[in-house]
Amino acid sequence: MKIKDFTYRLSSGRSLFQSLNADFLDDKVNVLLGPNGVGKTTLLDFISTVNKREPTYFHGFPNFARIAYQPQSVPFIYEATVFQTMKMVMGVSGFKGRLRHTDLPAELKTIADIKYGELSGGQRRLVMIDAISRLDRELYLFDEPESGLDPKTAKQVMQKIQGINQRGKKVIMTSHQFQNINNDDYHLLFLKAGQIQFSGSPSEFLKKESATSLVDAYIKQDQLL
């Protein structure tokens, strides 16, 4: 999956992407990094076709029906339980199988009959990620999947996302968290000033910036621009 020479202006006239080029790897979890407001979510919106995607610039991406997308927030019905919400999300997305209580991981079984609207922000995210992960798609998009989750739950979510990729599925996510993406199963793409400024493995990122942690490498890269 590649993006070639993609330029995009916001309705205000501000240029968000300028001749942006990006290569995404099939056998790694691709992680878009970059400061707030640089356009990571907007890029996912184009890849997912929420924003109209021109084939001139986007190459090798599956069509809408073969993509699962976890946006940062989703509309929900306050009164529906967690279990009903998961079934609704999966049903709307065309899931043909049957979801049973016994299929749920322990952390969701305990909240399955609570109203979705009564969950915390982190719990809602966990529920949506679990539901979306069960869909059978070619490409999975996750927008800040570990944001708002406690460290243990964040790690579980990242393991779930790794598991999707290990099943031969393509994954692109955004993140501001570094503790769980510091091994070479991840492919990092640093977005700033309308372009991908770095892409490569975490170890290549550390080497390029002569840094000992990804946070330091990120800050050094950010200060360059």
Ligand X SMILES: Nc1ncnc2c1ncn2[C@@H]1O[C@H](COP(=O)(O)OP(=O)(O)OP(=O)(O)O)[C@@H](O)[C@H]1O
Residues lying near ligand X in the complex (CB under 6 A): 10-11, 16, 34, 36-42
- Our CB check for ligand X shows the closer of 22 and 86 to be 22
Which two three-digit tokens encode residue 106? Answer: 């322990």
Cα–Cα distance, 125 to 110 (Å, whole number): 16
**Around Cβ 167, how many Cβ atoms within 10 Å?**
9
- Rounded to a whole number of angstroms, the minimum distance from the CB of residue 65 to ligand X is 24
Burial class of residue 78, CB neighbours in 10 A (0-12, 13-18, 19+) = exposed
- Our CB check for ligand X shows the closer of 11 and 102 to be 11
Do the beta carbons of residue 177 and residue 146 sit within 8 Å?
yes
- Rounded to a whole number of angstroms, the minimum distance from the CB of residue 11 to ligand X is 6
- Our CB check for ligand X shows the closer of 52 and 167 to be 52
- Rounded to a whole number of angstroms, the minimum distance from the CB of residue 144 to ligand X is 7
- Rounded to a whole number of angstroms, the minimum distance from the CB of residue 178 to ligand X is 14
| Sequence-ordered strand ranges (E) for 24-122 | 29-33, 58-59, 67-70
- Our CB check for ligand X shows the closer of 45 and 82 to be 45
